[in-house]
C-alpha cells in the first residue's frame, strides 16, 4: 500500500535502526537521513566487519542505492570527510552516490567547543545544540553559504565536492524522489525529540515523522509506512527521566554486557531498564508509527523472568511528564532461545498492548535478535 518507508527510533535511540535500515536498503533507490548529525552512532556489520558511522546513511553500498542528507540535519564537514574516506576504502566511488541539501546546517569546531563547555544534560559533545541554536536564531551557516571562500571549512567542503559528493536541494530532487522508492532513516528516538521528548533532556532535532515533512518531503508524507524500532528492553544514555531503569545492579550489568550497551559515539555505558509500554505507545502516536520491529530479544535469553511496564500510576500528558512516571509492571516468564513459547507470549503481549492502547493501532510486525541476521521473524 505504501511506496516508501521511514525507520523511526521508538525509544531513547540505540534501538538498532541502522541494522534494519541496512538490511532493507537494497529494496530502495534512496536512503534519506532527516535529523541530527554526528551525535548518532550507527553500527552495522557487513561480511563480519563492524562499521560505525555517524553521518552517512546506513546504505548497503553493495547495491545501487543512493543517499541523501537532508536540510534537517546538522552536518560536521570534518566528520563527513573522514567517513567518506573510510567508505571509499571498501566501496571506491561511493561518494558519487551521496547527495547533500546545501541548506543543511554546518557544524563548526566552535559549536563542539561550546557544547563541551555548556553541556549540562550529558550531550554527545558533537556541537548539535549550539549549531541548531544558531539556525533557529537565524544566524547559522548552511553549506551553501560556506562553499565559497578560503576558510578551513570552505576547504573541507571543497574536498567533499572533489570526492564526488553532490549538493542538490530537496526541491531540485523532488521529481526524482517522487519517481523513486525512498527509505528514510531516523536518528535518535521519539523520546529524545525536541518537541515530544523528555524536554529538556532531549536532542535538538525533530526525530519524528514530522521532521521528514519539515525537511521538504511534505508532498510524500502520505506515501510513507512508518516503522518504529524498539528493543525488547530499554536503554538511555545521558541525563533525564528513565522510569523503568533497573535498580538491581547485577541484572542491569548483565543486560548491558550482553547487549553491548555502550554508546557508539561516546563509548558511555548506557543505563538499562525494562520495556516501557506506555512510553512506546506514546512514541507510536507521536510519530504515526504503523508497525513496530522489536529488536535484541536474545539479550534477555536465560532470564528467569522479564518485567514489562504496562502503565504508570498517573497517565502522562507529554514526554516531559516521564519525570513523574511511576511504573506498574507485569512480570512474564523469561525465554531461553528463539523457539521458546515464552518469547512468543511476550511478543503477543506487546502486540496486543500496542493495538489496544495507541490511536495508530500499531502492531508488532517482526522481531529480531541482536546480531544474527537469520534470526529475523516476520509476523503475518
- Contact footprint for ligand IMP (CB under 6 A): 12-14, 39-41, 121-124, 126, 128-129, 188, 192, 201, 203-204, 237-238
Q: Give the cell for residue 347.
A: 511478543
In the residue annotation, 206 being an active-site residue is answered as: no
The nearest distance, CB 54 to ligand IMP, in angstroms, is 8
Of 97 and 114, the one with the shorter C-beta distance to ligand IMP is 114
In the residue annotation, 42 being an active-site residue is answered as: yes
The nearest distance, CB 250 to ligand IMP, in angstroms, is 24
The nearest distance, CB 289 to ligand IMP, in angstroms, is 18
Of 163 and 197, the one with the shorter C-beta distance to ligand IMP is 197
Of 17 and 66, the one with the shorter C-beta distance to ligand IMP is 17
Of 7 and 192, the one with the shorter C-beta distance to ligand IMP is 192
* Catalytic residue chosen out of the listed positions 14, 101, 115, 298: 14
The nearest distance, CB 132 to ligand IMP, in angstroms, is 9
Q: What is the 3-state secondary structure (H, E, C) of the chain?
A: CCCEEEEEECCCCCCCHHHHHHHHHHHCCEEEECCECCCCCEEEEECCEEEEECCCCCCCCCCCCEEEECCCEEECHHHHHHHHHHHHHHCCCHHHHEEECCCCEECCHHHHHHHHHHCCCCCCCCCHHHHHHHHHCCCCCEHHHHCCCCCHHHHHHHHHHHCCCEECCHHHHHHHHHCCCEEEECCCCHHHCCCCCCCCCCCCCCCCHHHHHHHHHHHHHHHEEEEEEEECEEEECCCCCCCCECCCHHHHHHHHHHCCCECCCCCCECEEEEEEHHHHHHHHHHCCCCEEEEECHHHHCCCCEEEEEEEECCCCCCHHHHHHCCEEEEEEECCCCCCCHHHHHHHHHHHHHHHHHCCCCCEEEEEECCCCCCCEEECC
Q: Give the cell for residue 225.
A: 509506512
* Catalytic residue chosen out of the listed positions 23, 29, 42, 54: 42
The nearest distance, CB 74 to ligand IMP, in angstroms, is 9
The nearest distance, CB 204 to ligand IMP, in angstroms, is 6
Of 123 and 362, the one with the shorter C-beta distance to ligand IMP is 123
Residues labelled as active-site residues: 14, 42
Amino acid at each position: 500500500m505504501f511506496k516508501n518507508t521511514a525507520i523511526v527510533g521508538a525509544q531513547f535511540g540505540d534501538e538498532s535502526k541502522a541494522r534494519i535500515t541496512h538490511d532493507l536498503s537494497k529494496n530502495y533507490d534512496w536512503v534519506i537521513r532527516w535529523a541530527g548529525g554526528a551525535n548518532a552512532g550507527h553500527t552495522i556489520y557487513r561480511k563480519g566487519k563492524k562499521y560505525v558511522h555517524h553521518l552517512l546513511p546506513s546504505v548497503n553500498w553493495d547495491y545501487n542505492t543512493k543517499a541523501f542528507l537532508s536540510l534537517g540535519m546538522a552536518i560536521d564537514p570534518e566528520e563527513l570527510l573522514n567517513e567518506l574516506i573510510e567508505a571509499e576504502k571498501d566501496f571506491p566511488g561511493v561518494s558519487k552516490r551521496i547527495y547533500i541539501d546545501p541548506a543543511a546546517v554546518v557544524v563548526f569546531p566552535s559549536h563542539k567547543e561550546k557544547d563541551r563547555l555548556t553541556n549540562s544534560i550529558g550531550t554527545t559533545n558533537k556541537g548539535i545544540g549550539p549549531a541548531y541554536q544558531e539556525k533557529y536564531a537565524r544566524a547559522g551557516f548552511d553549506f551553501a553559504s560556506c562553499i565559497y571562500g578560503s576558510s578551513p571549512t570552505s576547504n573541507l567542503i571543497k574536498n567533499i565536492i572533489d570526492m564526488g559528493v553532490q549538493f542538490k536541494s530537496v526541491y531540485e530532487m523532488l521529481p526524482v524522489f517522487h519517481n523513486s522508492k525512498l527509505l528514510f532513516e531516523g536518528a535518535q528516538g521519539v523520546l529524545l525529540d525536541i518537541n515530544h521528548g523528555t524536554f529538556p533532556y532531549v536532542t535538538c532535532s525533530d526525530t519524528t515523522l514530522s521532521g521528514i515533512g519539515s525537511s521538504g518531503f511534505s508532498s510524500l508524507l502520505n506515501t510513507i509506512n512508518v516503522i518504529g524500532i524498539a528493543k525488547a528492553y530499554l536503554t538511555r544514555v545521558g541525563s533525564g527521566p528513565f522510569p523503568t531503569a533497573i535498580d538491581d545492579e547485577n541484572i542491569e550489568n548483565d543486560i548491558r554486557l550482553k547487549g553491548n550497551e555502550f554508546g557508539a559515539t561516546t563509548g558511555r555505558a548506557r543505563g538499562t531498564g525494562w520495556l516501557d509500554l506506555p512510553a512506546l505507545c506514546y512514541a507510536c502516536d507521536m510519530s504515526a508509527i504503523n508497525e513496530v520491529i522489536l529488536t535484541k530479544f536474545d539479550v534477555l535469553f536465560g532470564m528467569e523472568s522479564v518485567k514489562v511496564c504496562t502503565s504508570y500510576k498517573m497517565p502522562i500528558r507529554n514526554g516531559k511528564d516521564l519525570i513523574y512516571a511511576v511504573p506498574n509492571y507485569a512480570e512474564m516468564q523469561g525465554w531461553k532461545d528463539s523457539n521458546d513459547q515464552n518469547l512468543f507470549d511476550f511478543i503477543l503481549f506487546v502486540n496486543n498492548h500496542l493495538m489496544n492502547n495507541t490511536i495508530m493501532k500499531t502492531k508488532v510486525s517482526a522481531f529480531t535478535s541482536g546480531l544474527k541476521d537469520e534470526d529475523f521473524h516476520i509476523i503475518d
